[in-house]
């Protein structure tokens, strides 16, 4: 996978407001928040998009969701939305898998 903005954050080449990190992933605040609380959870393993994940990534994918929930709780969110964009047509702009966690305001359905 080509180097991305997120791989540079993982490597500390670009600063980010990191709010969680372990050996598999990190979470940091979105620089263009779409809600009062908006952070991303990204794997340290380079996976361009969800559809590129393999069977061997199953535990990692579950870990990302558990981290998203735990960090949302740390951030004081009882209700929150998770979003994963898969591909340019779904508005993915950084091709490194990431889970958006948004909260702190009501959301409507369907999303845009």
Please give the positions annotated as active site.
98
Strands 37-43 and 25-29: antiparallel
Stated as kind and residue range, the H or E segment containing 21 is: strand 18-21
- Taking CA atoms, 48 is separated from 6, 8, 95, 103, 104, in Å, by 11, 14, 5, 25, 28
Q: In whole angstroms, what is the distance from residue 4 CA to residue 44 CA?
A: 12
Q: In whole angstroms, what is the distance from residue 14 CA to residue 8 CA?
A: 6
């Amino acid at each position: 996978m080509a180097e991305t903005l997120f791989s540079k954050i993982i490597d500390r080449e670009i600063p980010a407001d990191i709010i969680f990190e372990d050996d598999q992933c990190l979470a940091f605040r979105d620089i263009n928040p779409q809600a009062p609380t908006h952070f991303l959870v990204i794997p340290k393993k380079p996976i361009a998009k969800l559809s590129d994940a393999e069977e061997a990534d199953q535990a990692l994918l579950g870990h990302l969701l558990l981290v998203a929930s735990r960090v949302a709780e740390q951030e004081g969110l009882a209700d929150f939305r998770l979003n994963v964009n898969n591909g340019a047509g779904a508005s993915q702009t950084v091709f490194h898998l990431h889970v958006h966690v948004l909260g702190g305001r009501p959301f409507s359905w369907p999303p845009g």
